[in-house]
Structure 1
Amino acid sequence: MIMPKMSVGFAMILLVAGNMIAVLSDALIKELPDGAAVYQFVLLRQLTAVLMLLPFCLFNQKAKLLSNVKWHFVRGHIWLFGAVFMVLSIQALPLATVNAIFYTAPLLMLPLGFLFYKDRLTAPSIIVAILGFIGILVVVKPTQINMGAIFALIVALTMATNNLLVRKLPSNHTVAQTLFLTNLVGIPLGLGLAIWENAPLSWYALWIAAGSNLFILIYAGICVLVYRAVEAHKISSAEYTGLLGAVVIGIIWFDEIPDISLLIGSALIVLPLIWLATLESIKYKRTAL
């Protein structure tokens, strides 16, 4: 299908809006009460995501949905593992802090890409990785590292791994089918963990799960729309505005006032990534000439 052309400015506005919406998903998760049944909540997210995505999968029958699901199975269980720690980290840390750590996923993709695929590590990418990890230390402060920060780093690691494993997925599966399978294949283990947890069903957690999934799916849909219409190197820097959104929503919703270390550390994480994206954009333009 040929996608309509879209201006770079409008595409970036859509991406900024999408990232603000994605932060709302985290904010809803933070609304879970202390002691909430984590495994049950993750299972509810899987189930509601599958129900939301099923119509989009049924409307598109070009690809056999359940064919070649090996790597979907791997990614789905990595996602399940990361989702558990995502809930724990969001509950333990301020919204802006946890999102700053989540943004280290692109940094982790650099060494992982080298290990998995022998991707070339350039001098700029190494500099960006070093500055980013310094930024992590500034944000979480080595003397104040707690389990929440460790959990958030585990989430970033699972995000980076899943992003890299996208290369292994069947090319004929749509984005909706990929998201559907990611959630579907992990349901048996998620159900087993929820049964082992043995917590009474929480209807409040169900609504939180459905709401957070809805926000994430809107964000994913916006990404599909803009990245099909505009080259990624022109607009990807807009993704990092989600951290600003986390700061704003944290202040308004949870009365979380960021300190100077969060601002400095976030700058060390995000600004080098924008610089690297700019270098890649320049390189792309030169090779295209």
Structure 2
Amino acid sequence: MPKMSVGFAMTLLIVGNLIAVFSDAMVKTLDSDISIFQFVFFRQLTAVIMLLPFCMKSSRKSFINGLKWHTLRGHIWLFGAVFMVFAINSMPLATANAIFYAAPLIMMPLAMIVFKEKLTKHSIAAGIIGFLGVLVVIRPTEINWAAIAALIVAVTLAANNLLIRKLPKEQTVVQTLLLTNLVGIPASLTLALWEGQVWNWQPILTAAGSSVFILIYAATCVVAYRSAESNKIASAEYSGLLGAVGVGLIWFDEIPDMAMILGTALIILPLIWLAKVESKKRRNMDEAVIES
């Protein structure tokens, strides 16, 4: 996949994160006694059903390539999905999303370790300020099991996005999304059976709706992280927090307090600043090439 500009990659992530909020909102509409493992299984099953028709003509070889990485990502995705359902149903939507958005900060040191990416002072500053914003939102004195679950989700999101670069470049976005969900179905079905609850197919429509939104988000991540260095664009993930605040307010009557507003500002403003810095840097590099 050809390289795209940092600005365009960040725009993709912004759109994807805003759309992902609606997936979280649908999860939040579930009853408190919902079978989590059944719901996660339904979400993966409906995702596969929706994606399979677009991959019917794909060769068997195209699916075998990189299967070990798809398997690893698929099970990390499954692990994160379980904790995501618990976290979203246990705390306000915006608060849960604020903790999820610790993922870009987690990605920065991971990218440095795994891919030897060099962290710029600007990306480090944006990450640190953004994480301070997350701390303001969750208030460390109020950390509970739901907050811990949300932090686990953040780690799984970071790991999944970094592992995108391990996937075969020749595979399409749709193939990647299909394999991520397909390889996790045996495990999610096993967990649902182990849970031992009576099967309730009623949430499958909610699961399907949630799948549509999260697949769009995952697709934007695949395209963006394949096309630009993660430390330069990861902070764009924070944009979805604004959407979470808005959806939480309109859909669930969750009124943000001053800590939420301040924390959101600390998360979003560095994103805008970083985008301008990277855009200016790229423009200067292009001018230098033209002059030479």
Common topology (TM > 0.5): yes
What are the ranges of 5 or more consecutive residues in structure 1 without an aligned counterpart?
A: 3-7
Amino acid paired to 2:20:
A
Q: Which residue of 2 aligns with 1:254?
A: 252
Deviation track 1:218-238 (CA, whole Å, cap 9, x = no partner) reads 44567789999xxx9999987
Is 1:101 aligned to 2:88, yes or no? no
- 1:212, 1:70 → 2: CA distance? 26
Amino acid paired to 2:53:
P
Deviation track 1:6-40 (CA, whole Å, cap 9, x = no partner) reads xx99x96x876654432111111001111211111
Give the TM-score taking structure 2 as reference length: 0.85
SS at match of 1:133: helix
Is 1:186 aligned to 2:184, yes or no? yes
Amino acid paired to 2:213:
F
Give the TM-score taking structure 1 as reference length: 0.86
- 1:108, 1:18 → 2: CA distance? 19
Q: Which residue of 2 aligns with 1:33?
A: 31
- More deviation in 190-199 or 16-25? 16-25
- 1:27, 1:268 → 2: CA distance? 23
Question: Are residues 116 and 84 of structure 1, via their aligned partners in 2, closer, same or farther at CA, if it must alter by over 3 Å?
Answer: same
Amino acid paired to 2:151:
L
Is 1:90 aligned to 2:100, yes or no? no
Deviation track 1:200-219 (CA, whole Å, cap 9, x = no partner) reads 12222211111100122344
SS at match of 1:171: coil
- 2:218, 2:234 → 1: CA distance? 14
SS at match of 1:112: helix
- 2:255, 2:177 → 1: CA distance? 34
- 1:222, 1:129 → 2: CA distance? 21
Q: Which residue of 1 aligns with 2:208?
A: 210
- 1:111, 1:279 → 2: CA distance? 20
Q: Which residue of 1 aligns with 2:290?
A: none
Percent identity of paired positions between Structure 1 and Structure 2: 58
Q: What is the CA distance between 1:259 and its match in structure 2?
A: 0.5
Question: Are residues 133 and 242 of structure 1, via their aligned partners in 2, closer, same or farther at CA, if it must alter by over 3 Å?
Answer: closer
Q: How much is the aligned-residue C-alpha RMSD, in angstroms?
A: 3.2
Question: Are residues 204 and 238 of structure 1, via their aligned partners in 2, closer, same or farther at CA, if it must alter by over 3 Å?
Answer: same
Q: What is the CA distance between 1:286 and its match in structure 2?
A: 2.1
Q: What stretches of structure 1 move > 3 A for 4+ residues in a row?
A: 14-21, 59-63, 218-228, 232-241
Question: Are residues 219 and 186 of structure 1, via their aligned partners in 2, closer, same or farther at CA, if it must alter by over 3 Å?
Answer: closer
Number of corresponding residues: 283
Q: Which residue of 1 aligns with 2:134?
A: 136
- 2:138, 2:76 → 1: CA distance? 24
SS at match of 2:63: coil
1:168 to 161, 166, 169: 166
